[in-house]
Structure 1
Amino acid sequence: MTGLHERHLAVSPEWLALYYRHPLELTHGEGRHVWDADGNRYLDFFGGILTTMTAHALPEVTKAVAEQAGRIIHSSTLYLNRPMVEMAERIATLSGIPDARVFFTTSGTEANDTALLLATAYRRSNQILAMRNSYHGRSFSTVSITGNQAWSPTSLSPLQTLYVHGGVRSRGPYAELSDERFLQACVADLEDLLGHTRRPAALIAEPVQGVGGFTSPPDGLFAAFREVLDRHGVLWISDEVQTGWGRTGDHFWGWQAHAEHGPPDILTFAKGIGNGMSVGGVVARAEVMNCLDANSISTFGGSPITMAASLANLSYLLEHDLQGNARRVGGLLIERLRGVTAASPAVREVRGRGLMIGIELVKPGTDEADPEAAAAVLEAARAGGLLLGKGGGHNTSVLRIAPPLTLTVAEAEEGAAILADALHAAG
């Protein structure tokens, strides 16, 4: 155990997770690579939990941060803030939500917390619909709508949460149905649920479940849900903390795979837009955003320095078509991973969109999750110079792959080869 690890354990909560038997101290990064305190170099396929979205030490972002730090770092929302207004204007346009208003926070948890506040205040209801296997944050309100037991430490809640089918395509009572029948069954479940409860405030859903193991329904599910929700006066909150900004390749936002009936009422974002700076936020149409009848501010949300970073990061992403790169390189990576795992009895499924890929591991010959195998592959991949993530609704048995969106074809090939060796070594 390193001295820093011992010091960490002495002052940190026991529930604060660390990866690896011998945890890493990352000291610097460049592009898609990071280095640890011992000088070892790694290809980064997790990006600080999908947060280093474009690249480590991206010159455009570091320059924007340094220049803004030389002017003013902090002011709060009590003063006009040009970078915040400029960023809000861009996000309002990109969101697709008409007459949009934007409120900035410091994390995805806080963004989802704010979305719940808006929805419950607007609809005068504390009932929330959420998806099974979901994850929405670590605050008191967001853990209470998280449908993943491993990440929900308490059943106490200010909300009454009802869980809906549909977030996981390949497990559960509808797994054997065709896509069309799957959609019909999930919609029927939602209709039945709404017939037995008072009017909920909102349905909150990740278009692709992140912590849940990069699972998703067939395209069109949330459009079909939207028809039902609109009839019952229930808002739709799209949690885009992990799916936003083009990561899925096919779309800029995850909700756009379900776009038949237009954008959500509320959209939340965070993670990648700051490329490592603490940025989150909520977008909603003015009627919903302005429903609060009390004063509010944000001390750190939308700070000048995080907005400068986000503006530079967003500009780089759009100017270099990183959504297109996620689609092209991500598609290649998924096919390579399916190829190298095809002969492995421990791999149940390789799934994903763009540069958001999950590999689900099971005990060979069964559908039983194998978190020990996932942990072993994580260790073996690290030994080979590759950093991965973990997740999944069945005891973290899914390897999560989400590299920076500038990933090259050569790096995708390299990562797939290391992962193939890691699966072999761990098996």
Structure 2
Amino acid sequence: MSNSSVVHAVRENLSEPKEESQEEVETVIPVSDDTKYYVILGYAIAILLSSLIFNTPMEILRGMQAIIVAPSILVSDYFEIANIGSALFNSGLLMIVAIGIARKNEVNMNGPLMAAILTIGGFALFGKNLYNILPILFGVFLYSRVQKEKYNKFILPAFFGTALGPLVSQVSFGYDFPLIQGILLAVTFGTLAGFVLPSLAAHFVRFHQGFNLYNIGFTCGVTGMVFMAVFRAFGYDHEGVLFVSSGNNPAFSLYLGLLFTSFIVVGLYFNRWRFKGYKNLLTHAGQLVTDFVTISGFGITMINMGILGLISTLYVVMVNGELNGPIIGGIFTIVGFGAFGKHTKNILPIFVGIYLATLFNIWDVNSTGALLGALFGTTLAPISGRFGWPYGVLAGFLHMAMVMNVGAVHGGMNLYNNGFSGGFVAAFLVAIITSLKKEVI
């Protein structure tokens, strides 16, 4: 695939269905867009209502207040800052908001949109909230008006671009500005960041040629780096944070197990109680843009998402990691991208590479940083999907070293730190691989 074709694929209006081959059309079981919306909305509502299992309505309300005023830079676990119920309520609420915006703008419920919605839900457990995402969304909206294009053409940069939510929260509540001044500055900076994201994302995809699934994460990393450099130039800086909770494994092993099993059951229902089509899904490398909903159908995609959720949860439990907000957010993101490029065959080599890296480097395999590297490092899944599992293992190994060193440049303002790291690893590694293999991408 050429650079120009990759850029075209990312820049095109992903609200429109892709054209499939005749063979793929015959194997895909059709599901109406309304039905897809109802299913994803149902999960969002279920996550929101599940908050009541853990906390009372009053506790959730107080926790939501704490979430809104938290600076929210990496790593800020809303389980710890507020409480579990508030974090789940925030997650479900933001998913519902995203679904509502997409529906109003007539965006098809395809793989990229499902990935965006689940990613928002995941990061709503540790960094995104209703206050800090709105300026980003508005900035992208302004960009669409300037370009005289429909907002739905830029819905993915808008949704994924909410990774810069901490930029809004930190300026509002993390520095020493008077409250009103801080909020005005934060909204201005957030809107500006959202405004520049679509054009930057379209250009930066050339850098990694679609082998970093979190392209907006790389874009937000560069954007956050620029803003952070300006802040530091004026004497505004902050220390890194690590607010994480512990002791949640018994409850969330069951919670996530039931949740992701239900994905498989729902997928089987829409796929006529068969796994037919799953083997074909595993043949795709996952390089941007790979929409499994269009290629394999909604049912098989839901099955794939459920399987990825169970595998990711099992990995965390097996290495004695903590199922806290950031880790569950990482699992949600993998599940979301189970509709948009990830499957068992291309993520497992990344897990192996990360695990091997922890055996030799200074980070414990079950530390929050290492687990986040493993979960979000699956952004490099297309490398193993395209070039084979040994290269996937190598990508995971390199990613572990890289991701632990790039967060300082954006000061935790970019929640998708692994997408930022993944862009560099993909650009570095793919150039070498293709040179050795003498392949033309």
The answer to whether the superposition gives a TM-score over 0.5 is no
TM-score under structure 1 length normalisation:
0.28
Structure with bigger strand share is 1
Structure with bigger helix share is 2
